[in-house]
Amino acid sequence: MAAMLEARDIHCGYDGVPVIHGLSLEVNEGEIVAIIGANGAGKSTTMRTICGLMHPDRGQILFQGEDISRLPASETIRKGISYIPEARRLFPRLTVLENLELGAFTEKDRSVVEERLSEVFSLFPKLKDRLHQTAETMSGGEQQMCAIARGLMSGPKLLMLDELSLGLMPSLVEKVFEAVTAINEKGITVLLVEQLVQEALEIADRGYVLQTGRLVHSGTARELLDSPEVRRAYMGM
């Protein structure tokens, strides 16, 4: 079966400065796939290119068999790709409910929006108690839950999560990763970027290791967790 998402030899950069030098990766329906790598490796650039916030200079991105390389993010979200960027980017002065409803801007049918709200409340019951609180007054962990929930409000097939663990204490990191597993069990495919390599690989099916814009390893999560090179370079072992 063809992959849900396929990047074929993509090259991208900023203002002519290349950052990604020929990256190919695949995400199959139902998987959790992790992209790991050090600061500046090009993980966020890869995510931004896949969701259409920027476009590859060369190469192709296919989603469900369709070339989406040139589509803007406002279109890839309609195709079923939801990207939750680094550092959450909630609207700080809007309430939790307003943030969530904005996540569903592509959906005109109110009953579908209501249904999605009740799904995200079943995943994150705490959000329900905070509906009318502004996003800026929530704790970092609550904001991260809200950001994931907002990402789910567009009803994605593929959820892309950039550095979920950033700034969270370990017990919250664990909760957030549990939520990702629960989302995946509901049938949503996940592509995530993490610096917490071990934690990410523990919930992932497969992973890709990116080093200065190039793939240096790929394999099942188990293979990567067992790889002495990966352990030495990314898990401090």
Ligand X SMILES: Nc1ncnc2c1ncn2[C@@H]1O[C@H](COP(=O)(O)OP(=O)(O)OP(=O)(O)O)[C@@H](O)[C@H]1O
What's the rounded Cα separation, in Å, for the pair 100 and 113?
Answer: 9
CB of 137 to ligand X, least distance (A): 26
Q: Which partner, ligand X, Mg ion, none, binds residue 42 by CB below 5 to 8 Å per kind?
A: ligand X
Exposure string over 37-72, b if 16+ CB within 10 A, otherwise e: beeebbbbbbbbbbbbbbebeebebbbbeeebbebe
Q: Does 211 bind ligand X (CB under 6 A)?
A: no
What's the rounded Cα separation, in Å, for the pair 19 and 4?
Answer: 25
Q: Does 195 bind Mg ion (CB under 5 A)?
A: no
Residue 159, beta-bridge partner list: 82, 190
In the bound state with ligand X, the residue whose beta carbon lies nearer, of 19 and 27, is 19
CB of 97 to ligand X, least distance (A): 30
In the bound state with ligand X, the residue whose beta carbon lies nearer, of 81 and 96, is 81
Q: Does 85 bind ligand X (CB under 6 A)?
A: no
Find the DSSP H helices in the chain: 43-51, 73-79, 96-103, 110-123, 125-128, 140-152, 170-185, 197-203, 221-226, 228-234
Of 37, 80, 85, 207, the one binding ligand X (CB under 6 A) is: 37
Of the listed pieces 34-42, 88-96, 144-152, 184-192, which binds ligand X according to CB under 6 A? 34-42
In the bound state with Mg ion, the residue whose beta carbon lies nearer, of 100 and 193, is 193
Of 18, 21, 22, 44, the one binding Mg ion (CB under 5 A) is: 44
Q: Which two tokens stand for residue 188?
A: 């949503």
CB of 9 to ligand X, least distance (A): 18
What's the rounded Cα separation, in Å, for the pair 173 and 157?
Answer: 23
Q: Does 211 bind Mg ion (CB under 5 A)?
A: no
Of 2, 30, 40, 87, the one binding ligand X (CB under 6 A) is: 40
